[in-house]
Every structure is written in structure tokens, then in C-alpha cells.
Structure 1
Amino acid sequence: MKIDPNSSADLSAQIAKAIRDAIVSGALIVDARLPSEAELAEQFQVSRPTVREALKRLAAQSLIRTQRGASGGAFVNRLSYEQAYSQQITTSTLLLSMNSVGFDTACEARFALERACAPLSARRRSADHLATMRAEIYRQSQPGLTDEAFCASDVAFHRALVDGAGNPVLSYQLAGAVEAMQPLMNMITFTARSREAILALHTGITDALDARDGRTAMRRLEELETYTRDLGQSVMSARAGQRPA
């Protein structure tokens, strides 16, 4: 593991990248103990505080864990999909907000990814996935439900659909699509959408998965996408018309 002391990049960032690259390549395996701070400082020819900052960066990414005591130190962590979900969601949310991704673009991407899960979910969904989806449909039908709670239920519904595919890689990849893009779409459309229309579409999707009918589930998702995109366009057109000349 090496760094370039003449590079303009922060030394702690370089060290963190060098260690991360070693983990990704398999040079450092899961549960392997990293050299001590003193040893790393000597290896990279930097101060111990610089090494400590690099280790903090790696810990923040869940790539390493620290243990106290005589047998303690820093160890390569076994990153789980569940641990990675929050990072994926945070990254996707920041990416969308900082780059002003258009409503249509986000909508197209999210539904294209979700439709890819529909045939798998129709074959593999469990009774628990269906129960979650029907519970969220019931929750969405309650007259006193706030817009914020409806949006949260909407995300939970689609999360169950994706998880029903039984593929942890898809679930991880779509964590950002569902839990970052869905709230973005909800924020734009919540004032104009018909809860009854969404409930009907959600029920159609769930019934199709219950019947293990992937094609119908995909069609219902296509209908939901069309409804969402049309609604978003009408809302944004109305907002544009209200702006002062």
C-alpha cells in the first residue's frame, strides 16, 4: 500500500483509499487485523493523527471496525447489504438533489428498475412480502393519514415489492431508487394525486404478485408510471403558469 506525498490530495484520504483498495482487491481479507496506528504511520511516513483520520474515514464507510482491549485494534469489517442500504440511499439522495435530476428522468429510471423486479417478485415473493404490501394498502386507505405518512407507506410498499424478488443485489441497487427517488416524486405530486387511484394500482400490483402473474404486475407498474409522470407534468406546468412574468 502506497501514497504519493507530492499529490495535492489529502494524505488521510490517500491512506484511506490505499487501505480500501487493499480490502476490495482481497489483499486484506474480512476480519484481518490492520497494522497498528504506529505501524501504519511508519509505513506511510505520516503522523499518527493522519493515520487516525484515515481510519475514521474507513470506519464511516463501514469498511473497518475497531475493538478495545489487549486483542483489540482495527479489523476489516464484513459489510452486509443492510449496512450498505443507508449509504446507497444517502448517496442517491445527494446525487439527485445536487444535480437537479428532472422528474421524468428520475421517474423513468425508478420504474424501469422496479419493473425488472416484478417477474422475479411474482415467482419468489413470500407471504410476508404480500402481507406487508397489503398492510401498507390498508394504511394508505385511512382517511386521517397525513401526506407525510402516506409517502412513507408508499415507500414501504415498493420496498416490499423489490425485496420480494429475493435478490439482495437488486434490493441494494434499488434502495436508492425507491427510497431516494420515490420521496422526490411524492414531494412534487402529493398535492394533486388521487389516493384512490394509487390504492387501485397498488392493489392491482399486489393481486398480480399474489397470483404469481409477473406480466400483469409489470403492466400495473407501467400504469402507475404513466399516472405519476402525467401528474408530475401537470403539477409542474401549473407551477410554471403561476410564476410572475
Structure 2
Amino acid sequence: MPVEFETVVTTSAAKQIADTLRAAIMDGRLKVDERLPTEEELAQRFKVSRPTVREALKRLAAQHLIRSRRGPTGGNFVASPAPEEAARSLANATTLMVVVGDIQLDDMATARLELEGACCRLAAVARTDEHLDRMRRELAHQRDVALSDEEFCASDVRFHRALVDAAGNALLSFLMHAVVEALQPVSNMVIFRVRERRTIVIFHERILQAMETRDADAGMAALGDLVAYIRDRYREALDRRAERTG
């Protein structure tokens, strides 16, 4: 049965059409992999021009809600969820919010501690030897004094990604993508001149040991100390920057 759409007014018609189609996708009236009506059919239903419909479809494509396919059986189809793309978009948006100052230090630290703390509790139970091996490899990498700051930061991200993956919770993993892949590199970029890499390694060793012994409390304690250390170094870095520019 064709999905019924309400007629839209001409002002910002493309946005209204995109919003209407998006609502139909989100509430399940349009199913994943279902083919949308043609541009001509949509133009007739919404009583707008085809270029207006085309602009609306571009908006949906930019949101990864639809995909196009060429050929005799082609057209525009409702896209399957792409967790990696969605997580990357979330991380990019989060990074931008940090850069412009919409997300502050305390927000970053609190979010990381609460979300990753939940991951610690779950990982202590659900972790596998493969997760532990990933964390051990990163620790070995981080102990290399010849490692550049950029490489250390990348290894830091991979270590915590392994911890998050060990929790085995898809939604937490998605939410933590913004913290691990966005906030962590941003904070590292600010504090790398004032933090001691060896100190970070010690915190990581404590976290790994807690996961090895399935001690959730010890893991959360180590994570809490790590976040507190990073918070202090962040403030120190900002104070030094203020002194130089003051």
C-alpha cells in the first residue's frame, strides 16, 4: 500500500519533504531497502517541482537515510543502518562542539568517566582473551620511548577502544565512539606537553590488570584516577596558555 504524505507548503519545500520522508523512515512506514516513489511521483504527490524533490532527496542522502542505485531496477532506497558512518558523524560533531567551546572540560571528563566506567563493569565480565591481547599490544607499544606523541595518542585511543569493545554492548560502543575517537584525541592534543607518558601507561597497566582478574571495582578506580589526572593536566595546560597570552 502506498505511503500517504501530507501536502507541504512551498516555503522551504525541500526541507519539509525531506522531514516528511525522514519521519516515514523513522516510524517504519518506509522500510529498509524499500524503494521510494520516483522523483516525478513525489513531485506530483507533494505538488512541487522535480528539482525541489531532488534537493529533498539530497538532504536524506547526506543523512545516510537513503541510497541511490542505477540501472533498470534502480532508484532511491531506504538505507540500512551504517553504525560506523553514524558513529563517525557523531565523533565529528562532538569534535566541532569541543573546538567552538560548546563542550567544556568538566562535561568531557564526566561523560568519559560515566560511560567508560559502565564499559569497565561490563568488560570485567564479558571480556575475552582477544580483547586482553589487544590491550597488551597497545601497552607494549606505549612503553616504547621512541614512540612519537602522535603515535602514542593513536595507541591510547586503540587501548580504550579495546576496553569499550570488551563490554560487548553495541549502544555503549556507539556512544563511546564520540568519547574515544573525538574527545580523547582533542584532550591529548592539549595536554601532551604537560602529561607524563609513563604515568598514562601505569594507569593503563592497572586497567588491564583489573580486566585480567575480572575486578570491575579496581578497573573503575584506575579509570577514575586516569580521568582525574587528565583533568588536572588539562587545567595546567590551559593555565600555561593563559600565562603566555596574558
TM-score by length of 2: 0.93
Task: Determine the C-alpha separation between the residues in 2 that align with 1:104 and 1:188.
Answer: 15
Q: Which residue of 2 aligns with 1:5?
A: 9
Asked if the contact 1:155/1:179 (under 8 Å) is kept, the reply is yes
Q: Deviations over 1:173-202 (max 9, x none)?
A: 111122111112111110111110100111
The SS at the match of 2:108 is: helix
Q: Which residue of 1 aligns with 2:241?
A: 239
Q: Which residue of 2 aligns with 1:80?
A: 82
Q: Deviations over 1:105-146 (max 9, x none)?
A: 212221221111111011111222212111111111222211
TM-superposed deviation, 1:2? 3.1
1:194 pairs with 2:207: no
TM-superposed deviation, 1:99? 3.6
Asked if the contact 2:10/2:48 (under 8 Å) is kept, the reply is no
Q: Which ranges in structure 1 are unaligned for 5 or more consecutive residues? A: none
Asked if the contact 1:3/1:14 (under 8 Å) is kept, the reply is no
TM-superposed deviation, 1:84? 1.7
1:110 pairs with 2:108: no
The SS at the match of 1:66 is: strand
Asked if the contact 1:33/1:73 (under 8 Å) is kept, the reply is yes
Q: Which residue of 1 aligns with 2:205?
A: 203
The SS at the match of 2:30 is: coil
TM-superposed deviation, 1:150? 1.2
1:36 is matched by which residue type in structure 2? T
Task: Determine the C-alpha separation between the residues in 1 that align with 2:245 and 2:143.
Answer: 34
Asked if the contact 1:107/1:181 (under 8 Å) is kept, the reply is no
Q: Which residue of 1 aligns with 2:124?
A: 122
The SS at the match of 1:164 is: helix
2:245 is matched by which residue type in structure 1? R
Task: Determine the C-alpha separation between the residues in 2 that align with 1:95 and 1:16.
Answer: 25
Asked if the contact 1:141/1:199 (under 8 Å) is kept, the reply is yes
The percent identity for this pair of structures is 45
1:57 pairs with 2:59: yes
The SS at the match of 2:179 is: helix
Asked if the contact 1:81/1:168 (under 8 Å) is kept, the reply is no
TM-score by length of 1: 0.93
- Mean alpha-carbon deviation: is it higher for 235-244 or for 216-225? 235-244
Counterpart mapping for 1:132-147 below 5 A: 132-147=134-149
Q: Which residue of 2 aligns with 1:34?
A: 36
2:178 is matched by which residue type in structure 1? G
Counterpart mapping for 1:85-104 below 5 A: 85-104=87-106
Q: Which residue of 2 aligns with 1:150?
A: 152
Asked if the contact 1:16/1:57 (under 8 Å) is kept, the reply is yes
TM-superposed deviation, 1:209? 0.8
